[in-house]
């Protein structure tokens, strides 16, 4: 269905005027409204926390091509989908995933109702704070620990438990809330992509409802744009019990091949940009590259022991194998050096700027 | 985070000007651009295809309260979620769900590769067009038929098969494409809710990827806002085979309790408005009512044999039991009479209006 030229030319004049006024409105508010400062300075000086280099350049090149109708890299607005792994890509995942930290504390607080845990592993180790045993938990044990803190709970109660915990818990190294430990350069990528019409999604191996409890506040991402691992749900509507509860059976295991599968399940099409940091993100990046010419694939490389962590190929959390590095090189994925590409690590370590108070 | 008054008053003046200009732009285009006519006339005269009566009044009351900050029915914009069943709520579901019509034709076209189907039920009945046997298919048989048309296919190939079929297939009664048989009054509800900041979702017992193949074009709803029944997926990335394929195992059965469960799985919160027409929508309406005060629950009642269909409590498709009617009455859900509440049934039966050419 098309418009007559008559209507279009009038509209286009009026639209220009509206855009101008909108710009003036933004400028008027720039100094008065702190909340808008970050978005504005990110538009005026995009990716300010990134050092000039191939990584920053590739993001800017991708974004500007995506929004330029004359470019071969142009992406129609309804296809502007960008996906981000969370742990190790948007925030710190060491010494262990934040969701696991939550589960450890939750097991301790649930111990009174489960006297058998005092002599049943893996719970006994957590209750006794047996750090050697805890550091050696298998992934099956970690999955069991995570599930136990959810099964049978009402979804809203779980959300509240996560939010209450986040308000009090502190990261052992920085002694700050875990939600402070987000990477400032990645917040700028999220904000830039959204300003250019991208829908930004988190695609996480962590429990989907754990991340949804804070995603809007921390990343500006609403719950429906968080895809993660999930237990089956049970809707109950009895005279005495009403609501949605977590069942025992896992429904989604959102890691490795699960990432592209769940992206298709939730979104129904492939992303045009994908950001990850570990072997669990490999398939998501492959899928993004396979489905769209000119898409952007990026791996965050943890090589900054001073400001964050320096991973080795043997790291249990955030596995970054030599094979993955080789695939990145062969496939033309951009590898981001946190040490060299990022001027600033966290929002709280941001240097004071002209507009940023 | 709040703005200083200085910035706000400037912004508010500029915003008023922008709104005025936007209005002028719309008016300029109103007569020139057919595509915009429907949206505009829907804003100037909302729900024009609805007769004045309690159903229309309850929708308008809900929408205006939702967007009025001083009203007890005010809904913050991030919570404006509205869910719609599809079959029998947004489009015709008789004599059988459109997805099943597609599957019947697909079985016939696949028959050459499956010689055993000639003497295996339920396929034999479809190949022989045995209408008596076909009318008696059990729900298990229908599920088997649906699955067979998907299992092992690449997701993109399935989508193309659906779109190719929709372009050629015709409804037996109206001899029109199935996508013409959407209810004009419901298109107006979708459009009005979106104009008021609601995110509109389809929550369908039909196969999610079937509906996603046309949801944007037919309802203005993007694929990520379609939640439906789904098979498990398999992501394969071999040197010779790459892509996402349908597995044999069902993952989501999006009917009855599955509707609220999948709404929470996908969206992470409860809707504020829910529209359905059958017992399969009961739990979705209960959930919407349970979770939010002042939410809108609506049941479309098929009582118009002349313009559409008159269902009885015995209908196999679109089950509308006496118990459901009683629950609607007890719970204060609005029951819409298609015969009395709707002036116009389909877009193609719309009378010519002043703005609508």
In A, which residues are within 8 Å of B6 by CB distance?
Answer: 32
Residue A320 pLDDT: 72
Please state, in angstroms and rounded to a whole number, the distance separating the CA atoms of residues A211 and B31: 48
Residues pairing with A296 in the sheet = A273
Between CA A173 and CA A179, with CA A174 as vertex, the angle to 5 degrees is 115
Cβ contacts of A267 within 8 Å, gap of 6 or more? A81, A201, A227, B223, B224
A28 interfaces chain B, CB cutoff of 8 Å = yes
**Beta carbons of A235 and B209 less than 8 Å apart:** no
In A, which residues are within 8 Å of B233 by CB distance?
Answer: 261, 264-265
Residue A20 pLDDT: 53
**Beta carbons of B29 and A17 less than 8 Å apart:** no
Q: At B148, which helix (H) or strand (E)?
A: helix B139-148
Residue B173 pLDDT: 97
Between CA A161 and CA A167, with CA A164 as vertex, the angle to 5 degrees is 150
Q: Is the link from the previous residue into B95 a cis peptide, with omega within 30 of 0? A: yes
Please state, in angstroms and rounded to a whole number, the distance separating the CA atoms of residues B225 and B218: 13
- The complex's ipTM? 0.87
In A, which residues are within 8 Å of B279 by CB distance?
Answer: none
Phi, psi of B356 (to 5 degrees): -95, 115
Residue A314 pLDDT: 72
Residue A30 pLDDT: 38
Residue A1 pLDDT: 33
Please state, in angstroms and rounded to a whole number, the distance separating the CA atoms of residues A31 and A18: 21
Work out the mean pLDDT of chain A and round it to a whole number: 88
A156: left (phi over 0), alpha (psi -120 to 50) or beta: alpha
Listed residue (B215, B235, B225) closest to B166, CA to CA: B215
Task: State yes or no: pLDDT of A29 exceeds 60.
Answer: no
Task: State yes or no: pLDDT of A121 exceeds 50.
Answer: yes
Between CA A54 and CA A100, with CA A186 as vertex, the angle to 5 degrees is 130
The answer to whether residues B180 and B27 touch, using CB atoms and an 8 Å cutoff, is no
Task: State yes or no: pLDDT of A353 exceeds 80.
Answer: no
The answer to whether residues B347 and B180 touch, using CB atoms and an 8 Å cutoff, is yes
Largest separation between any pair of C-alpha atoms in chain B: 80
pLDDT in tens, A241-283: 999 999 999 999 999 999 999 999 999 999 999 999 999 999 9
Q: Which two tokens stand for residue A220?
A: 């500006």
Which residue among B8, B17, B34 places its CB closest to the CB of A21? B17
Along chain B (357 residues), what's the average pLDDT of each consecutive run of 10 residues? Answer: 40 56 45 47 83 96 96 95 98 94 96 95 95 90 92 97 98 97 98 97 97 98 98 95 96 97 97 96 96 92 95 74 91 97 94 49
Residue A54 pLDDT: 96
Residue A166 pLDDT: 98
A250 interfaces chain B, CB cutoff of 8 Å = no
Task: State yes or no: pLDDT of A73 exceeds 50.
Answer: yes
Pick from B4, B12, B17, B25 the residue to mutate for testing the A interface (most A CBs within 10 Å).
B25
Residue A135 pLDDT: 87
Residue A122 pLDDT: 95
Please state, in angstroms and rounded to a whole number, the distance separating the CA atoms of residues B231 and A303: 41
Please state, in angstroms and rounded to a whole number, the distance separating the CA atoms of residues B21 and B19: 5
Residues pairing with A83 in the sheet = A201, A274
Residue B17 pLDDT: 56
CA distance A111 to chain B (A): 29
Q: Cβ of B135: how many Cβ atoms within 10 Å?
A: 11
For residues A77-103, give the mean pLDDT.
Answer: 96
B241 interfaces chain A, CB cutoff of 8 Å = no
**Beta carbons of A32 and B7 less than 8 Å apart:** yes
In A, which residues are within 8 Å of B208 by CB distance?
Answer: 265, 268
Q: Between residues 288 and 307 of chain B, which touch chain A (CB distance below 8 Å)?
A: 290
Pick from B215, B264, B279 the residue to mutate for testing the A interface (most A CBs within 10 Å).
B264
B182-215: burial string, b at 16+ Cβ within 10 Å, e else: bbbbbbbbbbbbbebebbbbbbbbbbbbbbbbbb
Listed residue (B225, B191, B227) closest to B207, CA to CA: B227
Q: Does B295 or A351 have the greater pLDDT score?
A: B295
pLDDT in tens, A135-189: 889 988 998 999 999 999 999 999 999 999 999 999 999 999 999 999 999 999 9
In B, which residues are within 8 Å of A213 by CB distance?
Answer: none
Strands A81-84 and A199-207, by their bridges, are parallel
């Amino acid at each position: 269905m098309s418009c007559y030229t008559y209507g279009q030319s009038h509209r286009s004049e009026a639209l220009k005027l509206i855009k101008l006024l909108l710009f003036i409105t933004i400028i008027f508010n720039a100094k008065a409204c702190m909340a808008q400062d970050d978005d504005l300075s990110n538009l005026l000086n995009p990716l300010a926390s990134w050092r000039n280099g191939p990584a920053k350049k590739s993001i800017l090149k991708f974004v500007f091509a995506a929004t330029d109708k004359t470019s071969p890299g142009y992406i129609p607005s309804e296809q502007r989908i960008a996906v981000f792994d969370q742990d190790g890509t948007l925030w710190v995942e060491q010494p262990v995933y934040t969701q696991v930290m939550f589960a450890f504390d939750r097991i301790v607080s649930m111990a009174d109702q489960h006297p058998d845990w005092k002599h049943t592993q893996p719970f006994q180790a957590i209750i006794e704070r047996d750090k050697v045993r805890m550091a050696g938990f298998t992934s099956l044990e970690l999955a069991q620990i995570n599930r136990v803190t959810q099964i049978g709970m009402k979804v809203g109660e779980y959300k509240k438990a996560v939010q209450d915990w986040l308000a009090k818990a502190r990261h052992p190294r920085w002694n700050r809330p875990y939600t402070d430990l987000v990477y400032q350069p990645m917040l700028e990528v999220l904000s830039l992509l959204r300003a250019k019409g991208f829908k930004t999604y988190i695609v996480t191996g962590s429990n989907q409802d754990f991340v949804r409890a804070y995603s809007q506040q921390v990343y500006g991402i609403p719950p429906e744009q968080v895809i993660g691992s999930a237990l089956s749900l049970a809707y109950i509507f009895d005279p005495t019990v009403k609501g949605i509860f977590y069942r025992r059976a896992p429904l989604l295991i959102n890691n490795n091949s699960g990432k592209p599968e769940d992206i298709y399940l939730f979104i129904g099409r492939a992303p045009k940009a994908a950001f990850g940091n570990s072997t669990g993100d490999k398939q998501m990046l492959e899928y993004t590259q396979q489905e769209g010419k000119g898409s952007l694939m990026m791996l965050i490389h943890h090589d900054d022991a001073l400001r964050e962590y320096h991973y080795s190929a043997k790291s249990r959390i955030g596995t970054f194998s030599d094979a993955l590095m080789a695939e990145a090189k062969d496939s033309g994925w951009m590898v981001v050096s946190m040490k060299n590409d990022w001027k600033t690590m966290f929002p709280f370590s941001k240097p004071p700027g002209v507009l940023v108070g």
